[in-house]
Amino acid sequence: MLAGVIEKKGHLALQDREIPVLTAEDQVKLKVEAASICGTDVHILADPPGHPSALGIIQGHEFTGEVVETGSAVQHVRAGDRVVVDPTTTCGFCYYCQIGEQNLCEDSSTIGIFMNGGWAPYSVIPAKNVHKISKTVSPDVAVFAEPLSCVINGVSKLDMQLGNSVVILGAGPMGQLFTQVMKASGVGVIICVDLSDYRLGYSQVSGATHVLNPKKENVASFVKRLTGAGADIVIDCAGALFDQSLNLVRKGGQVLLVGMNEHANPSIKQYDITRNEIAVKGTFIQKCDFPRVVRTLEANLLDLKGLITHRLPLSKVHEGVEAMRKGEALKVILYPE
């Protein structure tokens, strides 16, 4: 089978690989129906890489497929079921797993980054990492399950009220999903900020009430003028804008830190957080959110197809990665051959 393999640091190669087989009773074999290119994938394939990964593995951590075979111990899915994939594997035994904070597992790994993933026609993965979803949900929508799970986990950490004002920094795929979820949750004012007018155009479709390009407008002045005091909630999807978030949130407001950039080191004035009683929360991947994600997708509450800018065969994965790298794509869907 044709597979997208991390051949060496920062380099993806299309290779001919053997179709995988079950090697344990608690595994499932999937026929991959759709996969996508995530911003993390682009970081992995940067030179030098902006995100660690294992070499020689099949890439792709956002994918969906049909179960074609199950191990003898698997009972919650069977051949013919469509499933979505939680790419994070956890040990189940460490302190954090035992207190229900599995997303903070001390011995976790990631399918498609450190283990073979979904940029291939078939994938064998642990059965506990798949969740059944109705076939009424098309594969190109089901593939959004993983990033949507991260968004739902983040939103669950917020004290959100009907009619709140929210500023979302970064209008990439995660920013778009936050925009749509906020809109569906009854937020009154949604201000999306990005340096790309291309992405901001999608934000308007996703439900933003206002879009701002910092190259053209003073964001802090606009937010203060519109809200009177500052935003109730500021969400940093870029991973480098904590300091700017504090300038946009009102006293007593909330800042949610979503994006991850290990090299960002903004100067923070802790006095302002204390004096203004600002609640700051970090959120990392998802925590038992896939059942809610499945229900959300099956209920068709969000316009996810509207975020798809490219549909490509796996053989053109390099084209998709390059479009993401140049900011000329929002969500790229890959179809294995």
| Residues 278, 294 within the same domain | no
Residues 6 or more apart whose Cβ sits within 8 Å of residue 251: 229, 230, 276, 277, 278
Q: Quick one: what percent of the chain has pLDDT higher than 70?
A: 100
**Helix, strand or coil, per DSSP, at residue 336:** coil
pTM (2 decimals)?
A: 0.95
DSSP string, 44-87: HTSSS-SS---TTSBP-SSEEEEEEEE-TT--S--TT-EEEE--
The C-alpha torsion from 29 through 33 and 38 to 44, rounded to 10°, is 50
Number of domains in the chain: 2
Crossing angle of the two packed helices 197-206 and 173-184, in degrees rounded to 10: 20
45 part of a folded domain: yes
* Mean pLDDT (whole number) for 176-193: 97
| Residues 163, 219 within the same domain | yes
The CATH number for 190's domain is: 3.40.50.720
| Residues 138, 261 within the same domain | no
| Residues 209, 251 within the same domain | yes
Q: Are 257 and 242 in contact (CB under 8 A)?
A: yes
Q: Distance of CA 57 to CAs 34, 104, 114, 119, 196, Å?
A: 18, 23, 7, 10, 33
Q: Residues 35-52: pLDDT tens digits?
A: 999 999 999 999 888 889
Q: How far apart are CA 72 and CA 95, in angstroms?
A: 30
Q: Residues 273-314: pLDDT tens digits?
A: 999 999 999 999 999 999 999 999 999 999 999 999 999 999
Q: Residues 54-66: pLDDT tens digits?
A: 999 999 999 999 9
Q: Which pLDDT score, from 0 to 100, does residue 72 have?
A: 97
| Residues 270, 305 within the same domain | no
229 part of a folded domain: yes
**Among candidate residues 237, 265, 282, the one where a domain is terminated:** 282
Q: Residues 216-239: pLDDT tens digits?
A: 999 999 999 999 999 999 999 999
153 part of a folded domain: no
Q: Tokens for 72?
A: 């003898």
| Residues 231, 206 within the same domain | yes
Q: Which pLDDT score, from 0 to 100, does residue 50 have?
A: 85
Tell me, what amino acid is at 13? A
**φ/ψ of residue 308, rounded to 5:** -85, 120
Q: How far apart are CA 156 and CA 235, in angstroms?
A: 13
Q: Which pLDDT score, from 0 to 100, does residue 226 have?
A: 97
Q: Residues 67-121: pLDDT tens digits?
A: 999 999 999 999 999 999 999 999 999 999 999 999 999 999 999 999 999 999 9
| Residues 174, 265 within the same domain | yes
The CATH number for 38's domain is: 3.90.180.10
Q: Per this entry, what is the length of the chain?
A: 337
152 part of a folded domain: no
| Residues 13, 142 within the same domain | yes
Residue 207, domain extent = 158-282
| Residues 18, 108 within the same domain | yes
70 part of a folded domain: yes
Q: How far apart are CA 22 and CA 42, in angstroms?
A: 30
